[in-house]
Structure 1
Amino acid sequence: MPERELDQLFDELETLEATVDEDARERVAAVIDAAEDVEDEVAYLEDRGAFGNVIRGYDRADITETFLGSLLFGVPMAVEGGTTEVGAFFAARPWFLAGTVAATVALVYGVLYVADIQDVRVKDPLLGVLPRRFVGVISISLGTAVVLLTGWGRIDWTAPAVALGACVAAFFPMAIGAALGDILPGS
């Protein structure tokens, strides 16, 4: 709402407040307080620039942003030989593999819903509880890791434990990139 319209609204509310009975005056005062809170929130969000967007839903544009963020962080993992070494390390230590998966899931949740980078709202959760954006970021980044590492010949599924470990090693940064790629444009 433009500033001039807000000023006009406040003037009209103050005029109304002066002309009504005591009970209505209290209600008008409450409306004025609420309008001032909205005005403060709008000013705060305008000051944040590219950040502070309210993000709802999860559509094709979000899926594309998720995929591109995943690729941006994942291509270096696919060309780096150390990813397979980490996969071998994880194959010998399944607790580290499980811990990395848990840390990845927790970090993605934190980036999306806790870090307050954007105001991400949950709309139409899957099965009534799973946020679509969260499921999308996790599944797209994991799928991209598997397809990219396999397609580029970086892993060999004849040694599935090592291949899985390498995919999890790539999944970690790819999931963070996917989450950031999705929410930073603010769609």
Structure 2
Amino acid sequence: MSDVEVNVDEEEDDADMGDLFDELQELEDIVEDEDAREQVRETMRVAMLASAAASPFGRVIRGFDRGDLAEALLGSLLFGIPMAVEGGTQEVGTFLAPRPLFLGGTFAFTVVLSIGIIYVADIQDVRVHRPILGIFPRRLVAILSVSALMSALLLTAWGRVDWASPMLALANVVVAFVPMSIGAALGDLLPGS
């Protein structure tokens, strides 16, 4: 192996993996020997793997275990507790209760938003693994279920809903369900599980 002198200028302190890939791409373009080109490509592949391993982002996520469930529960509560103690939740619930179309739209919006966070936003590379009934992704079902259950339990336990008026109680639960689902999805994905 040869000794290589590395000269680092102050301007190059902010170099990142993108710069490395650019340099390797330039090297690949000027190398004439096919074996050497293949070695440069292999170096680029290893650098990509090392980059993904160095960051909690960019990993491939499959399955849904109790650790993921705990992260979703924590995220749900983190976003849901302010909804339980704040009076705006009841105001919005009171508005939605006599409007079932808006209530259903709010619920549907939450489901679509959760799908977007988990599968579309590219926060992580999330793969569907063994869907329930071959259709419903376990991660999505779990995140929505834990959010809905915690919303109902939290609002009920803290006396924020009265189930004697079930439509009003349901509307309040749906209102709290919106941010709790966002929190559950982010809580599950951001740690890079």
TMscore range, shorter length: 0.7 to 0.9
Q: Deviations over 1:83-127 (max 9, x none)?
A: 111111111211111111111000100100000001111111111
Matched, 1:183 2:189: yes
**SS class of match (1:158):** coil
Choose which of 24, 35, 50 in structure 2 pairs with 1:14: 35
Partner residue of 1:96?
102
RMSD: 2.1
Percent sequence identity is: 55
Matched, 1:156 2:162: yes
Choose which of 130, 144, 149 in structure 2 pairs with 1:143: 149
Runs of at least 4 residues of structure 1 off by over 4 A? 31-37
Q: TM-score, normalised by structure 2?
A: 0.76
What are the ranges of 5 or more consecutive residues in structure 1 without an aligned counterpart? 1-12, 16-28
| Residue 35 of structure 1: how far off its partner (Å) | 4.3
Q: Aligned equivalents of 2:90 and 2:100: distance in 1? A: 15
| Residue 36 of structure 1: how far off its partner (Å) | 6.1
Q: TM-score, normalised by structure 1?
A: 0.78
Aligned residue pairs: how many?
160
Q: Aligned equivalents of 1:178 and 1:103: distance in 2? A: 15
**SS class of match (1:39):** helix
Is residue 88–residue 161 contact of structure 1 (8 Å, CA) maintained in 2?
no
Q: Deviations over 1:128-161 (max 9, x none)?
A: 1111100000000000000000011000001111
More helix by share: 1
Is residue 53–residue 59 contact of structure 2 (8 Å, CA) maintained in 1?
no
Relative distance call for 1:56 and 1:34 in structure 2 (3 A) is farther
Relative distance call for 1:129 and 1:36 in structure 2 (3 A) is farther
Is residue 70–residue 178 contact of structure 1 (8 Å, CA) maintained in 2?
yes
**SS class of match (2:97):** helix
Is residue 128–residue 138 contact of structure 2 (8 Å, CA) maintained in 1?
yes
**SS class of match (1:92):** coil
Is residue 58–residue 124 contact of structure 2 (8 Å, CA) maintained in 1?
yes
Partner residue of 2:91?
85
* Higher mean C-alpha displacement, 173-182 vs 84-93: 84-93
Q: Aligned equivalents of 1:136 and 1:167: distance in 2? A: 17
Relative distance call for 1:101 and 1:37 in structure 2 (3 A) is farther
Matched, 1:42 2:63: no
Q: Aligned equivalents of 1:83 and 1:41: distance in 2? A: 45
Partner residue of 2:19?
none
What are the ranges of 5 or more consecutive residues in structure 2 without an aligned counterpart? 1-33
Q: Aligned equivalents of 1:179 and 1:98: distance in 2? A: 20
